[in-house]
A and B are shown apart, each in its own frame.
Chain A
Amino acid sequence: MKCPKEIVRMMHNVLDEEATREEQLTVQNHLKTCSDCKEHYEELKRTESFLLSSPSLKAPDGFTSKVMQQLPQEKKTVWIKRWMKSHPLMTAAVLFLVLMAGSVYSSWTSEDQMTALSGNLTFDQETNTVIVPEGEVIKGDLTVKNRNLEIEGKVEGDVLVINGEQYMASAGQVTGDIEEVDHILDWTWYHLRNVFIDIGDVFSSDK
């Protein structure tokens, strides 16, 4: 039997699953009658199954790390983000400290001020001193910041002097505690302590 033209091409199309219905039939019918072409087709099939059965290869050990070592440096921000993801507690702690330090520092450097609930205070600009005049009675706590304080009268409450000095005249009188905060560390400590006292208050008031 005479082999149809292009039978080999059609066989390949069949192998590629690209053959038309017509081509498939042509090949099928031809192979039934032509032993040469049948052998050819069988050999192609065998070749194909050999190719498909070749063992799956594994990349050598350490392949990934070798690639990683050769990559260009990664951006810092990515490193930080990943660190934050894997250490959430540390991140919270660091965040807390940063915010805390920020607020403490800003309240440390914020405007000079003095607070008192009642009573008249005088201020000496030359010596940057707040004076509780003789005979005057301040009711409530007195806080003076970035200024000195001279007490000649009486304070019925606590006195807090931040970043300043406190003089007590012999006639002066304070019924509560006197506290001087001169250092930013003290200031931080003072804030933290207040925070904890507040927290303590919250808990104790719950009970």
Chain B
Amino acid sequence: MDAIVKRIILQVRKGDHNAFGELVELYKDRVFALTFRMLGNRQEAEDVAQEAFIRAYTNIDRYQIDRKFSTWLYRIATNLAIDRMRKKKPDYYLDAEVSGTEGLTMYSQVAATDQLPDDEVVSLEAQEGIHQAILSLPTKYRSAITLKYIQELSLKEISDILDLPVGTVKTRIHRGREALRKKLRE
């Protein structure tokens, strides 16, 4: 796999569009899954995933060939997704209690907005639940949890992608996992 990716990248560096197409095919699902879990909206996730690939193409000369390509690509995608999340940060949190009520959060006020195509309706309610739970996490936990469980990456890789020490990544995953545990209990 790595050898194939390297060969493709060398072709891309010579300016070969078709070779880059192969690269997109190889990674599009994983990059999309990453941005979708981070952003929770298919359209936005697609935009950001596309932008990530375009950035990868224009910066391909900066990629160090001896490193893992996926790490570099996920880093671009994660940073773009985090930027996007910051921009659209709502000025209220769903977790926050609705004023004048006791224990009632904004969750109860929001209808499920994600419209899924028919073939995906099969996904269980629980999975929609976990998706919403991930989306309710603060950005820094959300990115760590997504990389660990959706992309199934090692702590070391996550630390490379997020440019954080492994210890910090560990802490974020622990806290994120705790937060999810509490959510799923409800």
Contact = CB atoms under 8 A, between A and B. Distances in A.
B32 A59 contact: yes
Given A15-B177, A63-B49, A82-B18, A56 B184 contact: no
Interface residues of B, number: 46
A93 interface: no
Interface stretch (B67-75, B79-87, B126-134): B126-134
B127 A55 contact: yes
A70 B126 CA distance: 37
A50 interface: yes
Most chain B CB atoms below 10 A, which of A18, A64, A66: A64
Given A48-B149, A57-B29, A78-B14, A18 B155 contact: yes
B50 A66 contact: yes
A46 B127 contact: no
Among A43, A48, A56, A59, the most chain B Cβ lie within 10 Å of the Cβ of A59
Contact of B177 (A48, A72, A78): A48
A44 interface: yes
Interface stretch (B20-28, B89-97, B98-106, B107-115): B20-28
Interface residues of A, number: 37
Given A48-B177, A55-B123, A68 B17 contact: yes
Interface in A148-193: none
Contact of B24 (A9, A44, A63): A63
A48 B149 CA distance: 8
Contacts of A75: 14-15
A69 to B, nearest CB: 10
A51 B33 contact: no
B32 A67 contact: no
Interface in B18-67: 18, 20-21, 24-25, 28-29, 31-33, 36-37, 42, 46, 49-50, 53-54, 57-58
B9 interface: no
Contacts of B150: 51, 54
Given A48-B177, A64-B28, A54 B20 contact: no
B173 interface: yes
A23 B47 CA distance: 44
Contact of A74 (B17, B28, B170): B17
B180 A47 contact: yes
24 contacts: A13-B170, A16-B170, A43-B181, A44-B177, A46-B184, A50-B126, A50-B129, A51-B134, A51-B145, A52-B149, A54-B127, A54-B131, A56-B29, A59-B29, A59-B32, A60-B42, A67-B24, A67-B53, A68-B20, A74-B16, A75-B15, A77-B15, A78-B16, A82-B18
What 8 pairs across the A-B complex have the smallest Cβ distances? Answer: A51-B149, A59-B32, A75-B15, A59-B28, A57-B33, A12-B174, A74-B17, A64-B24
Given A57-B36, A74-B17, 16 more contacts: A8-B178, A12-B173, A43-B185, A47-B181, A51-B149, A51-B180, A60-B32, A64-B24, A64-B25, A67-B24, A67-B28, A67-B53, A67-B54, A68-B24, A71-B20, A82-B18
Interface of B: 14-18, 20-21, 24-25, 28-29, 31-33, 36-37, 42, 46, 49-50, 53-54, 57-58, 120, 123, 126-127, 129-131, 134, 145, 149-150, 152, 155, 170, 173-174, 177-178, 180-181, 184-185
